Amino acid sequence: MKKKKFILLGILFILLILLVCFFVFRKEDDKLSDAEKFKEEYEVYNGMTTEDGYSYPTVSVDENNVMYYATSEEVLKILKEGTGIIYFGTPSDPWSRNAVNVLLQASASTPINRIYYLDLSKKYDVYEVENGQVVKTKEGSDAYYEMVDLLQEYLSNYLVYDGKKTVDTGVKRIFMPFVVFVEDGKVISTRKGTTDSHINKGNGYIELTAQEEEELFNYYVDKMTILSDASCNEDC
């Protein structure tokens, strides 16, 4: 009797192990790829509006896109010694949405098979004006500050609004969207925002005109071609 009970418990234990393995492997199978995750994160805002009534620019992302979710460490390694394209952006930012549409179209027209994507929205420091003084109210990540140091000459100053006027914090900031083209640890080109004419409209929720889109597309393709023609490894 005890032997049968022992055998039954053994069978139940094996079944339990098999059941756990099934759900573990099923969970791994259900995990989104970087391309799928990027598509989901950006397209979820399509058709939505902000509290102010602005419509988010529509983004159409191919499920076989080249976006790779990079870590801060991977981005720093490229900036110091690597080759590749880095895209700093965030899904809810209208300027990023306008830029990424064209960036993805350009990548599909070149041999580039990877763009390193990093969302800085949670890595930023934050400055505010309190009693007429500029005060840092949130520290940025160490990696973010290192990126700023490496990209100093290509960045604009961080400006804040105190309710009456714009105040210069005196520090540099990586504003999104920001695309950086790097070859062997040397920055060969950067692109802040979209195009001058689009930026001058002062409203990122306005979608690019056909002419602005063509201008941005040609810029991206030109820089991507330079990298793909260089001694670029398979991760570019």
Q: Band of the pLDDT at 13, cuts 50, 70, 90?
A: low
Cis peptide bond upstream of 177, omega within 30: yes
CA neighbor of 177 nearest in space, from 114, 101, 126: 101
User: What pTM does this model have?
Assistant: 0.84
Instruction: Report the half-sphere exposure of 116 (CA within 13 A, side-chain side).
Output: 22
Check residue 14 and give its pLDDT. 58
CA neighbor of 86 nearest in space, from 105, 106, 102, 72: 72
Check residue 77 and give its pLDDT. 98
Q: For residues 31 and 34, what is the distance between their CA atoms, to the nearest angstrom? A: 9
- Indicate whether 138 pLDDT > 50: yes
Average pLDDT over the chain, rounded to an integer: 88
- Indicate whether 23 pLDDT > 60: no
Residues ≥6 apart with Cβ < 8 Å to 43: 59, 60, 61
